[in-house]
């Protein structure tokens, strides 16, 4: 092959076409898997397109039916004529090696696609496109080519393989209820209802401003990264990285953030903070605080993170309404209104969850309605959020909107919170009772409140005056 030619193998192309003609048993497999542009030579492309039309008409693909289709299409001569069709059947004595021919044809087709993609990337990069748009375009082109290897087909159930797989799953769960448990949130009742956060699910946590949706999401991230040792990516469009870490440290150490910010921590609280900081530093938590990030940019960053770290278990995005629409084409996205843009964002987030095979938690604002508890119709700016999400959860905290009189009469308990599971595509709905500890920005199960210690007397030493023995005692650093 000359250096100026695209990769191809005409012998393999002719052989695969011959296999289709002489062996009816493999016709369905090849005609449903190969594409016309997998062939380099135009005549082979025309023959294959005619084969697909014959097959779609429920006729056997042979020399006679194929020649007739090419004549009716007016492409017989361009395809090489009757002699060429006859030769395809004669030069392939057996279809036994069709898989090898298939691999050669697909390999060269992918190589040609990569070369074309590279040329397109060069063009976009030289047009003066914004750097992040150019990178998103490049990654999308390469990723789309890699997805061509996914040859999933419409398949029946006659062979019983899928049915046996599902029954086997049920048997495994019967013997071990945790066999297919998803990612644990750390909230017992929520984990019981959902069986953990499942891979490829889009989970929306929605609440009105000030209800603690960021705190709840970060409590889940804390459990995943610090308690379970898993990998999580947090995209904070509203808070800087330092504030996210500040919340995590105080929540994990069960220390009052107000006291930490006013310099009134006790010795024990400093120890807890040092232990929490060590665990956080050793964790596999990654935080991006870029503003107006798009789903395509998140997908690109998460692909790179998964490749470099070797795993990715959870993605958290705070929050949907601050995200920008698609810009992956290299030409920028355009939407008639914000509702269309939000619909595009949520659709892309669901696709991302499926492609990366991880649960994606996306936070969402609700309309500012104070007269009732939240419901699905309150989701702000787009009903597509409800449509695309696998799980929708609302945070309801009556004490936030309660009057002083209601609090005085104790008809509403301060700190009481309810997590309303309003949509659950693969399970039941429900209400989970929680308690919100405001000073450490932490939600806890009602039966496991871990309330803070009594107010200490006096102030603590600053961190530089605390020895390693004071911090870690006899137990050492927690793993």
Contact (CB, 8 A) for 214 and 246: no
pLDDT at 465: 46
Contacts of 148 (CB under 8 A, 6+ apart): 110, 113
Share of the chain above pLDDT 70, in %: 81
**pLDDT per position as a tens digit, 16-65:** 999 998 888 788 778 878 888 889 989 999 999 999 898 888 888 889 99
Residue 196 has pLDDT above 80, yes or no: yes
Helices 81-90, 63-73: inter-axial angle, 10-degree rounding: 150
Nearest 5°: the CA angle 142, 143, 148 is 100
Q: Return the structure tokens found at 267.
A: 């010795």
Q: Which domains does the chain have, with CATH numbers?
A: 10-126 (1.10.860.10), 182-472 (3.40.50.300)
Contact (CB, 8 A) for 361 and 354: no
| Residue 315 β-bridge partners | 233, 360
**pLDDT per position as a tens digit, 337-359:** 677 778 888 888 888 898 888 99
Mean pLDDT of 149-153: 54
Among residues 420, 395, 388, the alpha carbon closest in space to that of 193 is found at 420
Q: Please give the sequence-ordered ranges of beta strands (E in DSSP) within 319-414, or none if there are none.
A: 360-365, 391-396
Cα torsion at 396, 399, 405, 411 (round to 10°)?
Answer: 70
| Residue 445 β-bridge partners | 434
| Residue 436 β-bridge partners | 443
The secondary structure of 413-475, three-state, reads CCCEEEEEEEEECCCCCEEEEEEEEHHHCEEEECCCCCCCCCCCCCCCCCHHHCCHHHHHCCC
Contact (CB, 8 A) for 297 and 317: no
Tell me the H-state helices in 177-284: 188-194, 213-222, 241-253, 257-262, 267-282
Higher pLDDT, 246 or 326: 246
**pLDDT per position as a tens digit, 249-299:** 888 888 888 888 888 888 888 888 888 888 888 888 899 888 778 888 888
Among residues 291, 310, 388, 303, the alpha carbon closest in space to that of 346 is found at 388
DSSP symbol at 337: S
Contacts of 216 (CB under 8 A, 6+ apart): 205, 395, 419, 443
Contact (CB, 8 A) for 179 and 172: yes
Which among 190-194, 323-327, 332-336 has the top mean pLDDT?
190-194
Distances (CA, A) of 5 to 13, 15, 109, 115, 116: 16, 21, 13, 11, 12
Mean pLDDT of 106-112: 89
Of the listed ranges 28-37, 98-107, 183-192, 376-385, the one predicted with least confidence = 376-385
């Amino acid at each position: 092959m000359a250096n100026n030619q695209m990769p191809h193998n005409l012998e393999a192309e002719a052989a695969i076409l011959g296999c289709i003609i002489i062996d009816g048993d493999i016709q369905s497999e090849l005609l449903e898997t190969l594409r016309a542009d997998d062939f380099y030579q135009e005549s082979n492309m025309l023959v294959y397109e005619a084969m697909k039309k014959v097959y779609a008409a429920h006729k056997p693909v042979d020399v006679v039916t194929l020649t007739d289709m090419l004549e009716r299409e007016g492409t017989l001569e361009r395809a090489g004529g009757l002699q060429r069709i006859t030769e395809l059947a004669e030069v392939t004595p057996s279809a036994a090696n069709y898989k090898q021919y298939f691999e050669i044809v697909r390999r060269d087709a992918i190589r040609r696609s990569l070369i074309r993609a590279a040329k397109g990337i060069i063009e976009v990069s030289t047009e003066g496109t914004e750097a992040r748009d150019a990178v998103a375009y490049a990654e999308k082109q390469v990723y789309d080519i890699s997805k061509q290897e996914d040859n999933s087909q419409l398949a029946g159930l006659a062979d019983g393989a899928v049915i046996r797989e599902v029954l086997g799953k049920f048997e495994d769960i019967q013997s071990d209820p945790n066999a297919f448990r998803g990612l644990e949130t750390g909230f017992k009742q929520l984990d019981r209802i959902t069986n953990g956060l499942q891979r490829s699910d889009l989970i929306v946590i929605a609440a009105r401003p000030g209800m603690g949706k960021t705190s709840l999401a970060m409590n889940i991230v804390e459990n995943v990264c610090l308690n379970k040792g898993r990998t999580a990516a947090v995209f904070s469009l509203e808070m800087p990285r330092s504030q996210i870490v500040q919340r995590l440290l105080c929540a994990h150490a069960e220390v009052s953030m107000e006291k930490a910010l006013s310099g009134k921590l006790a010795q024990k609280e400093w120890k807890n903070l040092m232990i929490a900081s060590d665990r956080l530093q050793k964790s596999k938590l990654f935080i991006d605080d870029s503003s107006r990030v798009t789903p395509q940019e998140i997908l690109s960053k998460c692909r790179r993170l998964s490749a470099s770290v070797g795993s990715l278990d959870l993605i958290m995005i705070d929050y949907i309404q601050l995200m920008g629409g698609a810009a992956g084409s290299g030409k920028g996205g355009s939407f008639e209104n914000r509702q269309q843009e939000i619909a595009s964002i949520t659709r892309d987030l669901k696709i991302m969850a499926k492609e990366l095979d991880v649960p994606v938690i996306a936070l969402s604002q609700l309309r500012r309605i104070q007269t009732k508890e939240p419901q699905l119709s309150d989701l702000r700016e787009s009903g597509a959020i409800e449509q695309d999400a696998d799980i929708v959860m609302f945070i309801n905290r009556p004490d936030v909107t309660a009057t002083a009189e209601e609090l005085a009469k104790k008809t509403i308990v301060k700190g009481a919170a309810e997590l309303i599971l309003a949509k659950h595509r693969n399970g039941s709905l429900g209400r989970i009772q929680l308690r919100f500890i405001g000073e450490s920005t932490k939600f806890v199960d009602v039966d496991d409140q871990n309330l803070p210690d009594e107010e200490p007397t006096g102030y603590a030493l600053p961190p530089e005056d605390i020895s390693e023995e004071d911090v870690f005692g006899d137990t050492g650093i927690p793993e």
